[in-house]
Amino acid sequence: MLASYLNSLTEAINRRMGMVLIGLGVVVTVVFNLIIHVQFLPGPVIFLGRRLHWEATLGVPSVLSVMLEFTGGILWLLLSTLAAAPLLSSTLDRGWVELTLSKGTSRWKVFLGRYLGGVTLYFVAAIVVAVPIAIRLWWQTGVSSWPLVGSIAFQTLGFAGLLAFAALAALPRIGPAPPILLAMATSIVSAILAQREQGLYQLLTSRWSHWLCDWLYRILPKTSELNGIGVTLLHGYKINSWWPIWSTGVFMVATLGLTLWLLHRKSL
């Protein structure tokens, strides 16, 4: 599995989208580092641009929350999915699958290694975006933000759930489009379902549609809520509800388990 995992990382770096993701991460972190500055008046005050400013203990989590909103946002999820999903579909490419899956490593290990490579790609890219500025602010203000790693881990869990669904969609071997579309559709639907009482239920009034939406919400990964939990954690508050975390974890494990079981039985 390690061989497959390392190979997926090499492939991710060599694919254009992988480079775009990491490159964009670097650009974002550089730009943010340029527009954020710290002044001592006499205590440390963080300025975002010229006018928006906070006292350091509030400013550090606020700035990092902006970064988290970015890495948990739809654009970043789209880019990450575009970079990671082809790692799964390419595993089953004709002519390549015969080489890799005829070797002395089980199918599930090869595929799981690739999946973990995709998840790592997202995690590393999010770290590239958020961690340099966190280190700089800690250095300049003395306000540490260790919960950031936990916040990024929760976001990564959300992405892992999406990617597990993408893995399932990769099994029919019709290229990277179905996994990408399914993952993106799930993240959008999940965000809508999280706010269903304020939005969707105004449009859908029947009881069965509410019942359907409730169940869909329960089953699907909860990416937007995991972002919210990450921000909460960053501000030093307790996690109010563990439900989005464990339900996304269950979804990820169940979907991945189903995918690996189907792959094991699949005629290639």
Tell me the C-alpha distance between 236 and 59, whole Å. Answer: 13
Window 10 to 69, contacts with another protein (CB under 8 A): 10-11, 14-15
Among residues 106, 143, 173, 235, the one that binds another protein under rule CB under 8 A = 106
* Footprint (CB under 8 A) of another protein, residues 75-94: 90, 93-94
Cα–Cα distance between 247 and 132 in angstroms, integer? Answer: 31
Measured distance CA(1)–CA(106) in Å, rounded: 9
* CB nearer to another protein: pick between 49 and 95: 95
**Which range in 30-38, 103-111, 155-163, 218-226 contacts another protein by CB under 8 A?**
103-111
The residue from 31, 98, 142, 172 that contacts another protein (CB under 8 A) is 98
For another protein, the closer of residues 8 and 223 by Cβ is 8
Residue 140 touches another protein, criterion: CB under 8 A: no
114 binding another protein? (CB under 8 A) = no
The sign of the dihedral angle between the CA atoms of 189, 255, 111, 113 is positive
Tell which positions 165-184 bind another protein, by CB under 8 A. none
- The two structure tokens encoding residue 119: 């998840």
Q: Would you call 170 helix, strand, or coil by DSSP?
A: helix
Q: Closest approach of Cβ 106 to another protein, in Å?
A: 6
Q: Is 91 exposed, middle or buried (0-12, 13-18, 19+ CB in 10 A)?
A: buried
Contact pick of 19, 35, 58, 268 for another protein (by CB under 8 A):
268
Instruction: State which of residues 102, 198, 205, 240 lies at the interface with another protein (CB under 8 A).
Output: 102
Rounded CA gap, 215 and 6, in Å?
A: 37
Q: What is the DSSP letter of 172?
A: T
From candidates 50, 99, 208, 240, binder to another protein by CB under 8 A: 99
Among the residue ranges 6-14, 34-42, 142-150, 236-244, the one whose residues contact another protein (CB under 8 A) = 6-14
Amino acid (1-letter code) at residue 14: N
Q: How far apart are CA 151 and CA 228, in angstroms?
A: 9
For residue 108, the minimal CB distance to another protein (Å) is 11
Structure tokens at 218: 């329960």
User: What does the block give as tokens for 124?
Assistant: 């590393």
**Of 207 and 265, which CB lies nearer to another protein in the complex structure?**
265
Beta bridge partners of 38: 46
Q: Which residues bind another protein (CB under 8 A)?
A: 2-4, 7, 10-11, 14-15, 90, 93-106, 110, 265, 267-268
